Amino acid sequence: MNGPRFRVLVVDDHDVVHWGLRSLLSSQPWVERCLAAHSGDEAVELAKRYSPHVALVDLYLGTESGAEACERIVAACPGVKVLLISGAGRISATAARAAGASGFIPKDWSGGDVANAVRMVALGMAVFEPGGEAAPAGLSEREREVLELIATGATNGEIAGRLFLSPHTVKEHTSSLYRKLGVRNRAEAVQRAQRLGLTA
């Protein structure tokens, strides 16, 4: 496969989930090696030994908080990016970032979306958006404004009037956000934005 390959550390205290996540990630062509830990102590030890690019850490590790484990992993190995994951609770983006995490996702995401989120974090992106998919990185504030107006059904001319832009500039913003969202038209853009929680 072209592109970088990454070492991934899975940290989860439930054997079945642990096995599932390891199987999922080990099958990805961009994963160089998949390591496994059942506790914060084990995760820190493996992180020191193997320097993984990203650690996928359960928010609840028995009696230990995944956020605390995240802090310990990042303190021991500052180069490791941490993605928190949970099936039974939530953590705000602010709290996750404070612990040193680069993202948080729920376990009810599909396997493909979980793998994609891990890869995005390994590549240096943050994944905090709600919804069923990992969010695209890099929508500008103006592109978000254009997207929100597209979702209301506004035409390019109407968007131009609302945002005091030329129709040509609106078209450029629209083309850019289509590319970043990976869609081909307005309907797909609105559907994907709603799944990502980018629009009301």
108: number of Cβ within 10 Å = 10
pTM, to two decimals: 0.65
Task: Write the pLDDT tens digit of every residue in 83-134.
Answer: 999 877 777 788 888 889 999 998 888 888 899 999 999 998 888 755 434 4
Identity of the residue numbered 74:
V
Weakest-pLDDT range from 45-54, 123-132, 174-183: 123-132
The token pair at 144 is 């978000």
For the segment 150-167, the average pLDDT, to the nearest whole number, is: 90
118 vs 192: CA distance, rounded Å: 20
Longest CA span, the chain:
58
**CA atoms of 37 and 46, how far apart (whole Å):** 8
HSE of 199, CA atoms in CB hemisphere, 13 A: 18
Q: Mean pLDDT over all residues of the chain?
A: 86
Strand order in the sheet with 103-106: 31-37, 6-11, 54-58, 81-86, 103-106
**By percentage, how much of the chain surpasses pLDDT 70?**
90
d(CA 133, CA 117): 8
Which H/E stretch holds residue 160? helix 156-163
Task: Give the pLDDT mean for 163-179.
Answer: 88
